[in-house]
Structure 1
Amino acid sequence: MTASLRPDLAVIAGHVAAGARVLDIGCGDGALMAALRDERGVDARGLEIDAANVAAAVGRGLPVVQGDADRDLAGYPDKSFDYAILSQTLQTCRAPDHVLDELLRIGRRAFVSFPNFAHWRVRLSLLVGGRMPVTGLLPEQWYDTPNIHHVTIDDFRAFVRERQVTVEGAWFLSRRRLRGAAGANLLAEHAVFLLRR
């Protein structure tokens, strides 16, 4: 199941309990939801802003609606899902603090994954080239990127600590490989956190 998924999604898929109820916010084309449904018997629902991705997910037989994480989470009841998932979407939200509060209200636990803007390649590119970096994980130019909040692993750790959110798990990835927490802010390309209130 996990080999065909993006690395952060593979980590999430490997840690969602079989038979769980899941809300995948910013679910893209539904790849994670389909894998969880087919391999783990998960009851997965999705929210996605891009109409083409919604159509692709619905074409897979997935219950996905078009919506915006910044505006459309208030209607979900408290603790109505075992997991709320926000993968590679936090940095695109206008109010990530509000979205995180909603995730932790809707789900008993929340997975959050994001690209680490403090990775050494990003730092080096900015230092040497003097321009906003373009990398494999961050392929857009500064003017057309959906990323409006450039979060680092250390930023996120401080963010959840200040809000007294419990970190149940954290995984740091370079390409498809997991790496340890030591030096992750410099060495990991992206991160996955499992959170709860």
Structure 2
Amino acid sequence: MALRPDLAIIADAVPAGTRVLDVGCGDGTLIAALRDKGVDARGLEIDPANVTAAIARGQSVVQGDANHDLGEYPAGAFDYAILSQTLQTTERPDRVIEELLRIAPHAFVSFPNFAHWRIRLALLWNGRMPVTRLLPVAWYETPNIHHLTVSDFRELLRERGIVVERAWYLSGDRPTSAAAASWRAEHAIFLISRG
């Protein structure tokens, strides 16, 4: 099964032999790819149907909510924590990031960039929240409760003293440069740490 582009980047970047917690792991697609390369990957997922699907495939996934259940994991329990396309759906993204970096020294965080030029243009032209390929539902159906941008995320990290080890940006399904990423990138993937 082909991985979503942000998941493929994360899967390639996670070293073999490490311990990983995929928070908001969905049906476990990334966990399967990580296990294939020798990673001890586990998951936390809120949707019971996704948990059932992952467990049926032999994956170690528990049902839980990133907003409330990350505190149950001991500090330093993993080498990497992953939060892919979930940050914008959390109640307090700042607290979730702090928890990720408490349970693992490194965290991958990916999110849609709500400052992408197509979103800006749709708001300017139509005066309405856009529906796009990557944000395919109307504003009243979306699980997104925090509409962040690349610049917003970088500023949060700076305020908290969190280091960006590496960043990747996607336009469509292809990598794009960091130049004007807040304008050009539809998705952003960050590898962060306490430094």
Find 2:135's aligned residue among 130, 133, 138. 138
Equivalent residue runs for 1:108-187 within 5 Å: 108-187=105-184
Report the AA paired with residue 44 of structure 1. Answer: A
Equivalent residue runs for 1:1-197 within 5 Å: 4-38=2-36, 40-197=37-194
What is the percent sequence identity of the aligned residues?
A: 68
Check the 8 A contact 1:7/1:175 in 2, yes or no. Answer: no
1:52 Cα shift?
A: 0.9
TM-superposition CA deviations, 1:120-157 (whole Å, max 9, x none): 11111111111111001111111111000000000001
Q: TM-score, normalising length from structure 1?
A: 0.97
Report the AA paired with residue 173 of structure 2. Answer: R
1:7 Cα shift?
A: 0.7
- Helix, strand or coil at the partner of 2:97: helix
1:176 Cα shift?
A: 1.8
1:175 Cα shift?
A: 1.6
Report the AA paired with residue 74 of structure 1. Answer: G
In the aligned structure 1, how far is the partner of 2:177 from the partner of 2:32?
Answer: 29
Moved over 2 A (4+): none
Query: Gaps spanning 5+ residues in structure 1: where?
Result: none
Query: Gaps spanning 5+ residues in structure 2: where?
Result: none
Q: Paired residues, what number?
A: 194
TM-superposition CA deviations, 1:96-127 (whole Å, max 9, x none): 11100000000110000000000011111111
1:46 Cα shift?
A: 0.3
In the aligned structure 1, how far is the partner of 2:173 from the partner of 2:56?
Answer: 28
In the aligned structure 2, how far is the partner of 1:59 from the partner of 1:149?
Answer: 32
1:56 Cα shift?
A: 1.1
TM-superposition CA deviations, 1:74-98 (whole Å, max 9, x none): 1111111010000000000001111
In the aligned structure 1, how far is the partner of 2:81 from the partner of 2:43?
Answer: 10
Report the AA paired with residue 6 of structure 1. Answer: R
Report the AA paired with residue 22 of structure 1. Answer: V
- Helix, strand or coil at the partner of 1:71: helix
- Helix, strand or coil at the partner of 2:14: coil
1:159 Cα shift?
A: 0.6
Check the 8 A contact 1:21/1:43 in 2, yes or no. Answer: yes
- Helix, strand or coil at the partner of 1:105: helix
Q: TM-score, normalising length from structure 2?
A: 0.98
In the aligned structure 2, how far is the partner of 1:187 from the partner of 1:57?
Answer: 34
